[in-house]
Amino acid sequence: MDYQQIIERIYEEIKPYEQEGKQADYIPALARVNPDQFGLYLNLLSGESYQLGGYDTRFSIQSISKVFSLAIALSIKGKELWKRIGKEPSGTAFNSLVQLEYEHGIPRNPFINAGAIVLADVLLTELENPEEFFIQFVRALSGNEEIDYSSEVAQSEQSCSYLNASIAYLLKHHHNLNNRVEDVLHFYCMMCSVEMSCKDLAKAFTAFARSSEPFSHGGVELTTSRVKRINAIMQTCGFYDEAGEFSFLVGLPGKSGVGGGIVAIHPAKYSIAVWSPRLNERGNSIMGMKALELFTTMTSESIF
């Protein structure tokens, strides 16, 4: 299969959409990003890689960080984790508050904000130096020591994270948050602020595609069983209230973030990351989703 030719054709086909949507602007630092950028990186497990456009440009990974925090929390807590967080699709927006009230402070899944705020709380309790551990884990996963937090983006988000603060206080009210709300929000925003390129993300996610060789770092092990479960949650919950649509159009487990990044994997075949800041109303990259839909259509390599 000529993957390079395929991704170049995809780029031509998605060009008509390049002015649709706009970048996230509820986080002031993200509103300043140039929206007219696109990158793609395909990493085959057999070793070859193919790339396009701004594949090496770092951007804010935002909610993609939730996959990393879940991997760490699940490795530390095991089944216990599911007493504090569910694993069902939410069908609601990533920052929705209503469902959390109805369900008495147990977030539907780890990939909506409420769930990831509980993950941040778990890591704060369990790790001696959570910020250091988290970034070292991400660096080790992607093999790039230069990956870092953006304290500018983190501060920018925290300065106006009224909705996430409401979620955190509701969790606290239901005894599902052990640390101080301010500390949890700070760490949550730091994790979201990590900047990675499509190349970094595709490389990091090979650990979720190639579960036969478990990745391990600092006592966190991505065993075959854990990877299976994390991939299942990516498949059912990775795109908030658009998880069904992504599954329908693309057919891969994946995760998106409001920085415009999407990363997806095909178990035992490849990992692929795309990035374009303009989002649809659900907070997912428009060109990114189109590119992945075309990719699995043209290659016939979705999981279904």
Q: Which residues bind ligand GLN (CB under 6 A)?
A: 62-63, 94-95, 113, 157, 164, 192, 257-258, 283
As measured in angstroms, the least distance from the Cβ of 70 to ligand GLN is 14
As measured in angstroms, the least distance from the Cβ of 117 to ligand GLN is 9
In the complex with ligand GLN, which residue's Cβ is closer, 62 or 271?
62
Nearest residue (beta carbon) to ligand GLN: 63
Eight-class DSSP state of 84: T
- Nearest residue to 141 via CA among 36, 288, 273, 287: 273
CA separation for the pair 107, 277 (Å, rounded): 27
Phi, psi of 97 (to 5 degrees): -110, -30
- Nearest residue to 255 via CA among 240, 268, 270, 244: 240
In the complex with ligand GLN, which residue's Cβ is closer, 160 or 232?
160
- The letter for the amino acid at 68 is F
Q: Which residues contact 119 (CB under 8 A, 6 or more apart)?
A: 66, 69, 70, 73, 85, 110
CB atoms within 10 A of CB 151: 11
In the complex with ligand GLN, which residue's Cβ is closer, 269 or 282?
282
Cβ pair 169, 160 in contact under 8 A = no
In the complex with ligand GLN, which residue's Cβ is closer, 164 or 179?
164
In the complex with ligand GLN, which residue's Cβ is closer, 179 or 193?
193
In the complex with ligand GLN, which residue's Cβ is closer, 94 or 275?
94
CA separation for the pair 182, 291 (Å, rounded): 38
As measured in angstroms, the least distance from the Cβ of 62 to ligand GLN is 3
In the complex with ligand GLN, which residue's Cβ is closer, 63 or 90?
63
CA separation for the pair 106, 64 (Å, rounded): 21
As measured in angstroms, the least distance from the Cβ of 110 to ligand GLN is 13
As measured in angstroms, the least distance from the Cβ of 104 to ligand GLN is 22
3-state secondary structure of 196: strand
As measured in angstroms, the least distance from the Cβ of 288 to ligand GLN is 13
φ/ψ region of 271 (left if φ > 0, alpha if ψ in -120 to 50, else beta) reads: beta
- Nearest residue to 35 via CA among 278, 256, 262: 278
- What is the chain's length? 304
Which residue matches tokens 């259509």? 297
As measured in angstroms, the least distance from the Cβ of 200 to ligand GLN is 17
In the complex with ligand GLN, which residue's Cβ is closer, 23 or 231?
23
* Tokens found for residue 82: 């599911």
As measured in angstroms, the least distance from the Cβ of 63 to ligand GLN is 3
